[in-house]
Copies of this chain bind each other. A is one copy, B any other.
Amino acid sequence: MLVFSGPSGAGKGTICRAVRQGDPSLRLSVSATTRLPRKGEVDGVDYFFLKEKEFREMIANGQFLEWAEVYGNYYGTPVDFVRQELEQGRDVILEIDIQGALQVKKKFPEAVLIFIAPPSKTELITRLFARGTDSAGEVQKRINCTAAELKLADRYDYIIVNDDLDRALNKVQAIITAEKSRPRFFNTYYSRFES
């Protein structure tokens, strides 16, 4: 399980899309949210868009791997999909906020947490305004949170500063290759040397 998170505007969405294009066998977990769809976002593809009442019911029923309230909206990862894919031996990508990622790591210690960080404060401000989907007030709120969020990055397994998309993608690929070389993937290998 690969978990991508990072401050708004760091580019985790772009990186996740590109990683999945490079390796279509990776399954993306679709999050649920109570925020309104942005232009072009499709229910069930980008997010499951839920009413607050529906979301609260799923919380009460234990149907989230993690959930959080961010900027006044709820976001969560439905647990069923993730569990099914992992049980079938597939790699799952989660693109979730920082609080959620740390919750996942507690429940699944073998989850690999990647923090996507913006190259600079100036660049982050530029990107958030260029996106054009948030009001100036929302952009301000997000920037205020970034310094605090960066302090949580040292609880992650890896940090990638997204200064160049190709370079960032190479690093993600290297992390996947390295993590596939962990001893737990070699259980069947050892037995071939006995006898």
What 0/1 readout, one digit per residue, does chain A (154-195) give for beta carbons within 8 Å of chain B? 111111110000000011011101110111111001101110
Q: Is the CB of B183 within 8 A of A159?
A: yes
Q: Is the CB of B183 within 8 A of A154?
A: yes
Which residues of chain B have C-beta atoms less than 8 A from A155's C-beta? 183
Which residues of chain B have C-beta atoms less than 8 A from A146's C-beta? 193
A residues adjacent to B (C-beta < 8 A): 115, 117, 120-121, 146-147, 150-151, 153-161, 170-171, 173-175, 177-179, 181-186, 189-190, 192-194
Q: Is the CB of A194 within 8 A of B147?
A: yes
Which of B121, B147, B181 contacts A158 (CB under 8 A)? B181
A21 to chain B, nearest CB (A): 19
Q: Is the CB of A193 within 8 A of B158?
A: no
Which residues of chain B have C-beta atoms less than 8 A from A120's C-beta? 192
Bound complex: CA A148 to CA B62 (Å): 45
Which residues of chain B have C-beta atoms less than 8 A from A117's C-beta? 186, 189
3 A-B pairs with least C-beta separation:
A174-B177, A178-B178, A174-B174
Q: Is the CB of A181 within 8 A of B159?
A: yes
Q: Is the CB of B181 within 8 A of A179?
A: no
Q: Is the CB of B161 within 8 A of A192?
A: no
Q: Is the CB of A178 within 8 A of B174?
A: yes
Q: List 6 A-B contacts (CB under 8 A).
A: A146-B193, A151-B190, A154-B186, A155-B183, A159-B185, A171-B178
Interface centre among A121, A156, A189 (most CB of B within 10 A): A189
Given contacts A173-B174, A177-B171, A189-B117, contact A183 B153 (CB under 8 A): yes
Smallest Cβ-Cβ distance to A146: which chain B residue: B193
Given contacts A173-B174, A174-B173, contact A150 B190 (CB under 8 A): yes
Smallest Cβ-Cβ distance to A182: which chain B residue: B158
